């Protein structure tokens, strides 16, 4: 059976940690204990949400038990796996691009400093 992508990729995990004040993209390096707890809760939430999204995708491909193995035909299993893998890859690509600018992730709203005026200003 093909392997499913992880619910929360390493890049997404780093982005979320930076958003909560990590200095190096890990949960342990978040200084404030309250922010660290919030970060862990957010990562757990995203993992649960991704799992539900995958199960719903499999259900849309007529899996009675919301698993890849439960999808009736091999062609439908391949389409479902491709859909799930592409969705995870798209999120991962966005996070990898965002990690090129960790200062913008840490300072929420810092992108306004780079472009302070709207086009009509």
Provide the residue ranges of all domains of the chain, joining segments of one domain with +.
10-105
Residue recorded with tokens 């796996």: 81
The pLDDT confidence band at residue 98, using thresholds 50, 70 and 90, is confident
Cα 105 from Cα 70, distance rounded (Å):
40
Q: What is the dihedral of CA 21, 47, 95, 119, to 10 degrees?
A: -80
In this prediction, residue 43 carries a pLDDT of: 94
Q: Do 92 and 12 meet the contact criterion of CB atoms below 8 Å apart? A: yes
Mean pLDDT across 17-46: 92
**Which of 54-58, 63-67, 93-97, 105-109 is predicted with the least confidence, judged by mean pLDDT?**
105-109
Mean pLDDT across 99-108: 78
16 burial via Cβ count (<10 Å: 0-12, 13-18, 19+): buried
């Amino acid at each position: 059976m093909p392997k499913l992508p992880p619910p929360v990729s390493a890049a997404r995990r780093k982005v979320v940690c930076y958003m909560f004040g990590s200095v190096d993209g890990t949960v342990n390096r978040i200084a404030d204990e309250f922010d660290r707890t919030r970060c862990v809760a957010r990562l757990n939430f995203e993992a649960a949400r991704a799992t539900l999204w995958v199960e719903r995708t499999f259900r849309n491909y007529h899996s009675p038990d919301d698993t890849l193995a439960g999808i009736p035909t091999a062609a439908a299993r391949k389409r479902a796996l491709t859909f799930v893998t592409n969705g995870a890859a798209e999120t991962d690509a966005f996070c990898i691009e965002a990690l090129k600018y960790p200062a913008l992730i840490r300072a929420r709203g810092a992108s306004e400093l780079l472009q302070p005026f709207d086009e009509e200003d």
